[in-house]
Amino acid sequence: MVQYNLLAPTPHLNNEEHTTTLLSRPSTKIFHIVSPPHFQSDLFCQNEDEWVTLLQGEATLTIAEEPHLLKAGDTLLIPANTPHQVMDTSEKPLAMWLAVHVG
């Protein structure tokens, strides 16, 4: 059994997201992600559904070119093959995510 604290102190980010894989199964993957301040990601378009929740901080995402402002506790389901991108993230507290990819 592996224990992991979702709210543990964050390592230094160097302007890149820190991603930890918490579970990896053939059809399901769970990730813990910490975004640096004012982060903008590449454009994603995965072959699986992605459910995300913002554990702390704030973030703005575009999903199919529509902006969504997320605050701590908000969740989204991003359907498979839907273009999406993180456009901005908060500085204090840092944006911290839980993401579940379901194939």
- The pLDDT averaged over each successive group of 10 residues in the chain (103 residues) is 85 88 96 97 96 98 96 97 98 96 96
Flag whether 9 is in a domain: no
pLDDT of residue 37: 96
Range of the domain at 53: 27-102
Q: What is the CATH number of the domain that holds 45?
A: 2.60.120.10
CB neighbours (10 Å) of residue 11? 9
93 lies in a domain? yes
pLDDT of residue 7: 86
Q: Is residue 18 part of a domain?
A: no
Q: Can you give the pLDDT at residue 8?
A: 86
15, part of any domain = no
Domain count, the chain: 1
E-assigned strand segments in 36-83: 49-56, 58-63, 66-71, 75-78
Look up the pTM and report it: 0.92
Confidence at residue 1, expressed as pLDDT on a 0 to 100 scale = 78
Please report whether residue 84 resides in a domain. yes
Q: Give a yes or no: residue 10 inside a domain.
A: no
